[in-house]
Amino acid sequence: MPAADGPDPRVAALFDVGYCLMDESARLASALAWLAEALNRRGRPACAAGLVAAYRDACRAPSPTEPSLVVQTLRGLGVPDGEAQAIRPALPWEAVPLDAYPDAVPALRTLRGAGFRVGVLANQPASARADLDRAGLSALCDGVWLSGAVGLAKPEPRFFRLPLEAWGTPAERVAYVGDRPDHDVAPAKALGMATVRVLSGPHAEQPARGAGQAPTMEARSLAEVADRLLEWQARLGSRRAARRHGDVI
């Protein structure tokens, strides 16, 4: 019985949304095209290609004090901070829906079949729930926590604790899957979670800064993520079995 060995032995996996479960490329391209037009209307010559380059620069070295990559991008183009902060709320970020990666549903099904709890924890507007529903991802989840819906955001530790508290699962039996060393790997790792960094999207070139941002595992696709998590689950099971054996002898 689980009670004899301590907490529930099940493991869990929490997933980010953008460039992890769902492709944000079309949404980003639309947003940057809108920004180029907005800057031109303000008398600041800009083109989509220049904004793409500035956005990638921001992703490679995100500011620890400014959460908005759009604001960082505009600053990189020489737009004063006050003006950048004023432009950001008008950006029609949600105008383009998100599409799931082709291996997203199969990966979640594989994990659920192996006994994982599965959830989503992401910095996304509340409207992302409709994208997850449409893709069939919500139906495969035991919980969905979106920053726009709960009023917390990564990298806040309180945000990461929500599923731990809801599931009653200790952090060391939870893996967080995301693409950013700073907002995904570091806060999850600090709480004791395992981490899988997905090397996709504009943050693939963002370097890990220090041991705190180094992931437990890396993957380049969700199929690889599922493989890494199954291996991690097996290692946890082996350690748990070894502890039980030690108690007996």
Write the CB contacts of 124 (distance below 8 Å, at least 6 apart in sequence): 17, 18, 146, 147, 148
Judgement on whether residues 106 and 222 belong to the same structural domain of the protein: yes
The whole-model pTM stands at 0.92
Residues 221, 226, 228, 229: is their CA dihedral positive or negative? positive
Judgement on whether residues 91 and 104 belong to the same structural domain of the protein: no
User: What is the per-residue pLDDT across 7-41, written as a single tens digit (0 to 9) for each?
Assistant: 456 899 999 999 999 999 999 999 999 999 999 99
- Residue 163's pLDDT is what? 98
Judgement on whether residues 70 and 162 belong to the same structural domain of the protein: no
- The whole-angstrom separation of Cα 109 and Cα 105 is 6
Task: Indicate the residue among 48, 63, 95 that finishes a domain.
Answer: 95
Residue range 99-120: mean pLDDT, rounded: 98
- Cβ-in-10-Å burial (0-12, 13-18, 19+) of 18 comes to buried
Judgement on whether residues 91 and 106 belong to the same structural domain of the protein: no
Query: What is the pLDDT confidence band of residue 239, given thresholds at 50, 70 and 90?
Result: confident
Quick one: angle between helices 48-60 and 69-76, nearest 10?
120
What tokens appear for 61 in the block? 């070295």
How many domains is the chain partitioned into structurally? Answer: 2
Judgement on whether residues 112 and 195 belong to the same structural domain of the protein: yes
Judgement on whether residues 124 and 188 belong to the same structural domain of the protein: yes
Cβ-based neighbour number of residue 221 at 10 Å: 16
Residue range 227-241: mean pLDDT, rounded: 88
- Residue 5's pLDDT is what? 46
Answer yes or no: is pLDDT of 6 > 60: no
- The whole-angstrom separation of Cα 56 and Cα 34 is 17
Task: Indicate the residue among 60, 95, 130 that finishes a domain.
Answer: 95
Task: Indicate the residue among 95, 130, 145 that finishes a domain.
Answer: 95
CB of 162 closer than 8 Å to CB of 144: no
Range of the domain at 223: 2-24+98-248
Judgement on whether residues 37 and 66 belong to the same structural domain of the protein: yes
Mean pLDDT computed over every residue of the chain: 93
Residues 151, 153, 156, 157: is their CA dihedral positive or negative? positive
CB of 115 closer than 8 Å to CB of 10: yes
- DSSP for residue 208: P
Judgement on whether residues 145 and 117 belong to the same structural domain of the protein: yes
The total number of residues shown for the chain amounts to 249
Query: What is the pLDDT confidence band of residue 247, given thresholds at 50, 70 and 90?
Result: low
Judgement on whether residues 18 and 66 belong to the same structural domain of the protein: no
| Domain CATH code at residue 176 | 3.40.50.1000
**Residue 183 to residues 146, 167, 191, 213: CA-CA distances in angstroms?**
14, 22, 13, 9
Answer yes or no: is pLDDT of 237 > 90: no
Secondary structure (3-state) at 155: coil
Judgement on whether residues 82 and 143 belong to the same structural domain of the protein: no
